[in-house]
């Protein structure tokens, strides 16, 4: 009888504790914190006061709870979530403007996005939309792009084949079936994979949040695999899955056209499926440009007593004798300013954090090296920014993003290109993304009348540019300039084949090499997508071990390295980091908010229907 009583008391305590944790314990997020968007701030001086606050000792908030290294979306998300939880945070950015890959720059009257070209999952009450509304308190507005958001162009010798990718709950699949009528079954199977990955990918986040010993037990025992096929999909090569589905090389290209430096044979089928599914309910662009994201998140951080300071390069993470992080040093001219806090979050990538910022005696520790051995550096990016004195209509440009390929054999052409010598590479680029940010944002016509901008992205080897890594930015010499312009000229000529009016209206052009990315964005070896997204990274055990906490007590990681590349991947890396530090139900709160908003919408719809009948 006594044991039964003890058991019942334990059950009641557990149930009460769970109820308190889920429904009573104060959280960071709430419906009430979201308010209607205010008028867009067009005064650049006022925007600079938010985005370009230079670091000084006097601006450091007192009694800091956390320091965040890097103002990319991962760091800003972690910072805003912690700030809304009552923590006083300081974000330190080495560049002269906040935002990381979300920042924009303006030259000669032309505005360019750096790393944000478009993203999805922002339809009403989508998880990403709910998260954005919380970290910006509802101030971000997004423009939904045309349904035809992507074009895939395969230039196989003299033959050119164009495929359109449409957004839409049913339209995306139906449109592909029209273009590939002999592969209907393959498309249906791939869309089943997309649905499974979208619904069950949260389980890969959960293995990063539950105790590591429990996650490894569930994976190694086979329980995790028995419960969900997501663990098998994450470990499946995209090429293997594509070959199983179809022998049509063009369709295989469609299943894997989002390039991030890893050929399909070495990448996870799950990641490629997630990327396409990401746009199933629409593609979006920030109204006012990508810099709106750091602009509004900074305001939220400041609202709760925090700061975002730029021109604040962190030179070292401070670690005490007990191997616990307790602060950072910031380089200010010839001085190194020490800033202390009980929690340090690094959003500058695992390689920069472990190999450059930690003290040498900590870097060599086996537990640090084993974490590094789980990942490898990502492929570098090359970007070309072009400005035109002409309108969208005069240039015949579109908001659709154009993905250009020289072949339908992604594995073959990537292996061949990345295996080329430094001198062969510039004239043999096999793929590029062509996008017009000015055509995506309707406010561009107001903010930059009569002007249009184009961004081109491709992947390159860092080693091709490495000989100039120790030279100063903008003073790298004629050899460097001429070499990078060989890449730039090839990319621009390729773009002009598809948009002939570009050439005569070109008035500004700048090429960003891996060295540029390293200088301005702090990317390790110029990789804007951070660590390599190879298949080994997405093995279940690797996912469980690659988590936000680190072998150094009080030091945490955020951003793309914690889950996947892109704005959405980095944002989730920030949420995972905040959840780990706060021991807080971040995702449960977001799901409950999503349900609450859905019920609210249903009630409103029912009320309007009732009024209409009356």
Q: Which residues pair with 381 in a beta bridge?
A: 459
Handedness of CA 237, 241, 243, 247 (dihedral sign): negative
Cβ 205 vs Cβ 127: under 8 Å: no
Cβ 560 vs Cβ 577: under 8 Å: no
Q: What is the pLDDT of residue 48?
A: 95
| Structure confidence at residue 506 as a pLDDT band (50, 70, 90) | very high
Helix, strand or coil for residue 329?
strand
At 569, which helix (H) or strand (E)?
helix 566-582
- pLDDT tens-digit profile of 562-606? 999 999 999 999 999 999 999 878 889 988 988 888 888 888 778
Percent of the residues in the chain that have a pLDDT greater than 90, as a whole number: 86
Q: What is the pLDDT of residue 604?
A: 78
> Which residue reads 């760091």 in tokens?
75
Q: What is the pLDDT averaged over residues 28-53?
A: 92
Q: What is the pLDDT of residue 555?
A: 98
**Closest Cα to residue 568, out of 275, 136, 268, 145?**
275
Q: What is the pLDDT of residue 25?
A: 56
d(C-alpha 519, C-alpha 473), whole Å: 8
| Structure confidence at residue 19 as a pLDDT band (50, 70, 90) | very low
- pLDDT tens-digit profile of 384-400? 999 999 999 999 999 99
Q: Which long-range contacts (CB under 8 A, 24 or more apart) does 160-167 make?
A: 161/250, 161/408, 163/250, 163/254, 165/254, 165/276, 165/279, 167/120, 167/279, 167/280, 167/281, 167/282, 167/283
Q: What is the pLDDT of residue 603?
A: 81
* Terminal Cα distance for the chain, rounded: 62
Q: What is the pLDDT averaged over residues 510-515?
A: 97
Cβ 79 vs Cβ 94: under 8 Å: no
Q: What is the pLDDT of residue 4?
A: 56
d(C-alpha 268, C-alpha 538), whole Å: 7
CA-based R_g, the chain, Å: 24
> What are the residues whose beta carbons fall under 8 Å from the beta carbon of 612, sequence distance 6 or more?
none
- pLDDT tens-digit profile of 426-467? 999 999 999 999 999 999 999 999 999 999 999 999 999 999
**Closest Cα to residue 574, out of 170, 293, 260?**
293
Mean pLDDT across the chain: 93
Helix, strand or coil for residue 459?
strand
Cβ 91 vs Cβ 309: under 8 Å: yes
| Structure confidence at residue 548 as a pLDDT band (50, 70, 90) | very high
Q: What is the pLDDT of residue 2?
A: 59
Q: What is the pLDDT of residue 13?
A: 52
If phi over 0 gives left and psi between -120 and 50 gives alpha, with beta otherwise, what is residue 463? alpha
Beta strands in 335-374 (DSSP E): 335-340, 344-346
Q: What is the pLDDT averaged over residues 64-89?
A: 97
Judged by average pLDDT, the poorest of 11-15, 78-82, 185-189, 571-575 is: 11-15
CA dist 564 to 114, 270, 334, 501, 531, Å? 18, 11, 37, 37, 9
Judged by average pLDDT, the poorest of 18-22, 142-146, 493-497, 529-533 is: 18-22
**Closest Cα to residue 564, out of 260, 276, 354, 355?**
260
Handedness of CA 437, 49, 446, 503 (dihedral sign): negative
d(C-alpha 20, C-alpha 17), whole Å: 5
φ, ψ for residue 373 (rounded to 5)?
Answer: -65, -20
Q: Which domains does the chain have, with CATH numbers?
A: 45-132+287-374+546-586 (3.50.50.60), 146-281+376-526 (3.90.660)
Dump the DSSP string for 276-324: HHTTTT-EEEETT-TTHHHHHHHHHHHHTT-EEEBS--EEEEEE-TTSB
- pLDDT tens-digit profile of 325-341? 999 999 998 899 999 99
- pLDDT tens-digit profile of 282-309? 999 999 999 999 999 999 999 999 999 9
Q: What is the pLDDT of residue 216?
A: 94
Cβ 319 vs Cβ 326: under 8 Å: yes
Is the pLDDT at 65 greater than 70, yes or no? yes
CA 187 to chain centre: 27
Handedness of CA 41, 43, 44, 45 (dihedral sign): negative
Is the pLDDT at 233 greater than 60, yes or no? yes
User: Could you tell me how many helices (H) and strands (E) the chain has, helices first?
Assistant: 27, 20
d(C-alpha 594, C-alpha 602), whole Å: 12
Q: What is the pLDDT of residue 463?
A: 97
Q: What is the pLDDT of residue 605?
A: 77
> What are the residues whose beta carbons fall under 8 Å from the beta carbon of 373, sequence distance 6 or more?
none
């Amino acid at each position: 009888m006594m044991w039964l009583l003890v058991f019942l008391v334990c059950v009641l305590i557990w149930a009460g504790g769970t109820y308190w944790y889920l429904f009573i314990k104060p959280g960071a997020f709430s419906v009430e914190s979201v308010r209607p968007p205010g008028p867009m701030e067009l005064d650049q001086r006022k925007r600079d006061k938010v985005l370009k606050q230079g670091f000084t000792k006097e601006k450091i908030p007192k009694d800091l709870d956390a320091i965040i290294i890097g103002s990319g979306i991962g760091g800003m998300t972690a910072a805003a979530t912690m700030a809304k939880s009552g923590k006083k945070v300081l974000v330190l950015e080495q560049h002269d403007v906040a935002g990381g890959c979300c920042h924009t720059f303006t030259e000669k009257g032309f505005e360019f996005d750096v790393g944000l070209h478009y993203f999805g999952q922002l339809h009403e009450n989508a998880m990403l939309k709910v998260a954005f509304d919380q970290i910006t308190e509802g101030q971000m507005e997004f423009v939904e792009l045309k349904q035809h958001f992507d074009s895939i162009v395969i230039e196989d010798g003299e033959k050119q084949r164009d495929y359109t990718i449409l957004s839409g709950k049913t339209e995306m699949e139906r449109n592909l079936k029209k273009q590939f009528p002999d592969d209907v079954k393959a498309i249906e199977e791939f869309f089943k994979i997309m649905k499974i990955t979208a619904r069950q990918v949260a389980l890969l986040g959960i293995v990063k949040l539950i105790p590591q010993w429990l996650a490894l037990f569930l994976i190694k025992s086979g329980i995790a695999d028995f419960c969900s096929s997501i663990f098998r999909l994450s470990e499946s090569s995209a090429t293997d899955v594509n070959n199983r589905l179809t022998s049509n090389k063009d369709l295989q290209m469609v299943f894997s056209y989002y390039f991030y430096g890893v050929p399909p044979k070495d990448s996870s089928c799950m990641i490629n499926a997630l990327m396409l599914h990401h746009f199933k309910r629409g593609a979006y662009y920030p109204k006012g440009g990508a810099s709106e994201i750091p602009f509004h998140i900074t305001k939220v951080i400041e609202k709760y007593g925090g700061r975002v300071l730029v021109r604040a390069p962190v030179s070292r993470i401070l670690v005490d004798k007990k191997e616990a992080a307790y602060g950072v040093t910031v380089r200010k001219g010839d001085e190194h300013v020490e800033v202390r806090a009980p929690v340090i979050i690094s959003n500058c990538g695992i390689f920069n954090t472990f190999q450059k910022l930690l003290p040498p005696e900590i870097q060599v520790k086996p537990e640090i090296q084993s974490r590094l051995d789980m990942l490898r550096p990502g492929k570098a990016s090359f970007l070309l920014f072009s400005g035109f004195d002409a309108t969208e209509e005069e240039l015949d440009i579109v908001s659709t993003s154009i993905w250009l390929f020289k072949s339908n054999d992604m594995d073959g052409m990537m292996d061949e290109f990345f295996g080329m010598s430094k001198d062969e590479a510039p004239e043999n680029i096999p793929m590029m993304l062509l996008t017009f940010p000015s055509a995506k944002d309707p406010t561009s016509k107001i903010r930059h009348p009569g002007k249009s901008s184009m961004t081109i992205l491709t992947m390159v080897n860092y080693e091709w540019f490495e000989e100039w890594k120790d030279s100063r930015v903008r003073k790298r010499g004629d050899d460097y300039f001429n070499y990078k312009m060989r890449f730039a000229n090839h990319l621009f000529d390729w773009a002009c084949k598809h948009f002939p009016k570009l050439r005569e209206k070109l008035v500004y052009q700048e090429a960003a090499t891996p060295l540029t990315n390293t200088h301005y964005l702090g990317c390790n070896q110029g990789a804007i997508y951070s660590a390599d997204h190879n298949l080994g990274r997405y093995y279940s055990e690797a996912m469980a071990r690659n988590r936000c906490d680190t072998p150094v007590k009080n030091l945490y990681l955020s951003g793309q390295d914690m889950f996947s590349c892109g704005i959405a991947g980095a944002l989730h890396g920030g949420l995972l980091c905040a959840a780990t530090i706060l021991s807080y139900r971040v995702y449960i709160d977001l799901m409950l908010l999503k349900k609450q908003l859905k019920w609210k919408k249903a009630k409103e719809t029912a009320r309007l229907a009732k009024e209409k009948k009356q």
